[in-house]
């Protein structure tokens, strides 16, 4: 859907995943001139399926985004560009100066939907299995591991809680982690033992079995830990570089803080999806994108917009007795 980039837009949506395309859809319905810039780094692009979406459970991530882009074709004021936003600067007049793949444009509003990037384990065969029988989200893919012997790969004091969540579906859960690091305190170890979750000290080296027919993981010492599903959790980094440059307030995890309308601490900048605190689910990202798109669009009511877009409604008329 790439077209020539406009010089000025009402709204720039940075990120073309579920949150960004949802925001763009509603900006289109409010007839705001909108540019979506998508770098194509969607978090779930490796997953075979997306689950729990009302009316299309399951669907593939690629089909979901393709249908969303097709839906934007009905809104002539919305443009989607496959590329990268390199800089965003908040001007004194309240507008935003933006560089997109070397081109300059001006936007009145910004929607940040840049998501997060997961730290992926460096294990032989990982990419072949990722999205099929190796996952990063228990809520998203836990049901697919129903009755399985599940292996959890991870490091950090959050891993015991992450592993315990999988007990809703798994037959057994084992954690492979490097226990030479003091990552689990005594209370966590006791809780894991109470739940019957075994902690295995070792370095995962390779996946055993074909994608979709996982048999286990071989450790560096040659020992094989048997399992038919793997979930991993090391770390993920919010893609917040642009938010930092704009001065948006972040939480301790680096995610963008927003109010009930998805407005950040910077006037005119909205954020939605995994880049904000809360559950990292596609359905929630879509809802947050809707809220951001509507709030962003209505914030322009009574303001002048670009020439090719319809004029927003005038300010509310004041009546006197």
pLDDT digits (tens, 9 = 90+) for 248-259: 999 999 999 999
Specify the pLDDT at position 226. 97
Q: For residues 79 and 306, is the Cβ–Cβ distance under 8 A?
A: no
Question: What is the pLDDT averaged over residues 83-110?
Answer: 97
Higher local confidence (pLDDT), 308 or 196: 196
Q: Which of 193, 45, 202, 39 is nearest to 112 (CA)?
A: 39
What is the model's pLDDT at position 303?
A: 74
Say how far apart CA 152 and CA 159 lie, in whole Å. Answer: 8
Which among 291, 175, 156, 296 is positioned nearest to 231, based on CA atoms?
175
Closest CA to 36 of 78, 90, 64: 78
This prediction has a pTM of: 0.93
Q: Report pLDDT for 101.
A: 96
Q: Residue 320: is its pLDDT beyond 60?
A: no
Instruction: Tell me: pLDDT of 301 over 50.
Output: yes
Give the model confidence (pLDDT) of 4-16 as tens digits.
899 999 999 999 9
pLDDT of residue 181: 63
pLDDT at 2: 52
Residue 123: DSSP 8-state: -
Cα 99 from Cα 5, distance rounded (Å): 11
Helices and strands (H, E) in the chain, number of each type: 8, 17
Distance CA(138)–CA(9), nearest Å, equals 39
According to the model, what pLDDT value does residue 319 have?
Answer: 46
pLDDT of residue 156: 86
Mean pLDDT of the residues in the chain: 93
Q: What is the rounded distance in angstroms from the CA atom of residue 74 to the CA atom of residue 157?
A: 48
pLDDT at 178 (0 to 100): 75
Residues 6+ apart with CB under 8 A from 97: 87, 88, 89, 91, 104, 106
Q: Which CATH number fits domain 8-117+236-298: 3.40.50.11290, 1.10.275.10, 3.20.10.10, 3.50.50.60?
A: 3.50.50.60
How does strand 103-112 pair with strand 204-210?
A: unpaired
pLDDT, residue 321, reads 44
**% of the chain at pLDDT higher than 90:** 85
- Judge whether residue 269 has pLDDT over 70: yes
Query: Exposed (0-12), middle (13-18) or buried (19+): which is 226, by Cβ within 10 Å?
Result: middle
Does the pLDDT at position 295 exceed 60? yes
Percent of the chain scoring above 70 in pLDDT: 92
Give exposure, 147-180, as e/b (b: 16+ Cβ within 10 Å): ebbbbbbbbeeebbebbbbbbebbebbbbbbeee
- What CATH homologous superfamily does 120-233 map to? FAD/NAD(P)-binding domain (3.50.50.60)
Contact 1, 83 (CB under 8 A): no
All CATH 3.50.50.60 domain ranges in the chain, comma separated = 8-117+236-298, 120-233
Q: How far is CA 105 from CA 23, 95, 156, 205, 264, in A?
A: 20, 11, 42, 48, 22
């Amino acid at each position: 859907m790439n077209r020539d980039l406009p010089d000025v837009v009402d709204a720039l949506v940075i990120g073309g995943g579920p949150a960004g395309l949802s925001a763009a859809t509603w900006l289109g319905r409010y007839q705001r001139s909108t540019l979506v810039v998508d770098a194509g780094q969607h978090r779930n692009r490796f997953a075979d399926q997306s689950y729990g979406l009302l009316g299309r459970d399951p669907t593939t991530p690629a089909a979901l985004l393709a249908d969303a882009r097709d839906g934007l074709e009905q809104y002539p004021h919305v443009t989607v560009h496959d590329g990268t936003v390199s800089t965003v600067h908040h001007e004194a007049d309240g507008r935003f100066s933006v560089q997109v793949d070397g081109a300059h444009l001006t936007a009145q509003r910004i929607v940040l939907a840049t998501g997060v990037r997961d730290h992926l384990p460096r294990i032989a065969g990982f990419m072949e299995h990722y999205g099929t029988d190796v996952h990063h989200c228990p809520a998203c893919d836990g049901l697919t591991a129903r009755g399985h012997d599940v292996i959890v790969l991870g490091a950090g004091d959050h891993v015991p809680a992450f592993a315990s969540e999988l007990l809703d579906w798994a037959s057994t859960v084992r954690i492979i982690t490097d226990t030479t690091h003091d990552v689990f305190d005594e209370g966590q170890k006791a809780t894991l033992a109470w739940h019957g979750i075994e902690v295995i000290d070792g370095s995962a080296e390779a996946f055993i079995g074909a994608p979709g027919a996982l048999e286990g993981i071989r450790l560096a010492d040659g020992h094989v830990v048997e399992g038919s599903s793997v979930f991993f959790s090391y770390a993920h980094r919010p893609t917040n570089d642009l938010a930092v440059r704009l001065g948006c307030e972040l939480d301790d995890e680096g995610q963008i803080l927003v109010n009930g309308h998805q407005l950040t601490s910077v006037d005119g900048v909205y954020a939605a999806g995994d880049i904000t605190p809360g559950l990292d689910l596609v359905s929630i990202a879509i809802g947050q994108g809707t809220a951001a798109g509507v709030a962003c669009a209505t914030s322009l009511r009574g303001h002048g917009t670009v020439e090719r877009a319809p004029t927003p409604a005038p300010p509310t008329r004041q009546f006197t007795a």
